[in-house]
């Protein structure tokens, strides 16, 4: 079964892949043999991250575009296929958040979060599915959250979109599964990333999360990469439409 986790010869697009959880997953996929294409909006940051992967002996490329730009996403996927001849894995990781009390939460801010956290995932899955369908094989992995199961105050857009990501995952899994493409989601718990720096710095909240989580701590970045490799590999060929919680037991604990 060891070879079942190999990604040799596979090409993977990871959005939000220049840092944080995205780069962690990209690094794990590259170590398993995949050529990884890192996406973000900052070309310089992407080049730096890709250069580090190449220096470690991995195959890496970049695709700088804003995931909210549907035309740019479509062109980027086509460009990846032109350069590499295929696209086997999509990790829809790019996301954003906005924190405001409900009565102060502007409609434009809600719509911006939806555009990044949900609409972009749909567009990229649609475009990535086209070459995957021609190949008869593919893996789409959407990044959800424990907020796709639970909720916290003042982040209604984030909570709503992460719940919707789970539904989108199931819908695509049903449609694409018969055609050789599996679609799953990863729902991380609390990991230290750029998106939650303020929460990390809030000592009371950080202690609350550690106490609330059965394993007694926040997640470590290196604990997420192998999960992405599993879902991207042949080892997970019969896993479809599933949201895999990587949260230390947070969502099953009272």
Give dist(CA 254, CA 252) in Å, integer. Answer: 7
DSSP type of residue 249: T
Contact 169, 183 (CB under 8 A): yes
238 is catalytic: no
Beta-sheet pairing, 138-143 with 89-92: parallel
150 φ, ψ (degrees, to nearest 5): -115, -165
Sign of CA dihedral 219, 223, 225, 231: negative
Angstrom CA distances, 169 to 60, 100, 151, 182, stand at 27, 28, 19, 10
Question: Active site residue: 65, 158, 190, 191, which one?
Answer: 158
Active site (catalytic) residues: 158
């Amino acid at each position: 079964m060891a070879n079942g986790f190999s990604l040799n010869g596979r090409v993977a697009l990871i959005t939000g892949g220049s840092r944080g959880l995205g780069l962690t997953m990209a690094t794990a996929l590259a170590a398993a043999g995949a050529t990884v294409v890192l996406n973000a909006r900052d070309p310089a940051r992407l080049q730096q991250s890709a250069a580090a992967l190449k220096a470690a002996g991995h195959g890496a490329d970049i695709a700088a575009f804003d995931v909210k730009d549907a035309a740019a996403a479509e062109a980027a996927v086509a460009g990846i296929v032109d350069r590499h001849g295929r696209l086997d894995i999509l990790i829809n990781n790019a996301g954003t958040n906005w924190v405001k009390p409900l009565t102060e939460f502007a409609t434009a801010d809600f719509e911006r979060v939806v555009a990044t956290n949900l609409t972009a995932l749909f567009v990229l899955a649609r475009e990535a599915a086209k070459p995957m369908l021609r190949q008869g094989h593919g893996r789409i992995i959407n990044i959800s959250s424990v907020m796709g199961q639970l909720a916290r105050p003042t982040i209604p857009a984030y909570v709503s979109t992460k719940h919707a990501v789970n539904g989108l995952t199931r819908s695509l899994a049903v449609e694409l599964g018969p055609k050789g493409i599996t679609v799953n989601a990863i729902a991380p718990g609390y990991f230290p990333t750029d998106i939650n720096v303020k929460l990390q710095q809030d000592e009371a909240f950080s202690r609350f999360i550690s106490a609330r989580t059965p394993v007694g701590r926040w997640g470590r970045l290196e604990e997420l990469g192998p999960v992405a490799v599993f879902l991207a590999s042949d080892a997970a060929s019969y896993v479809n439409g599933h949201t895999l919680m990587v949260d230390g037991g947070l969502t099953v604990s009272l």
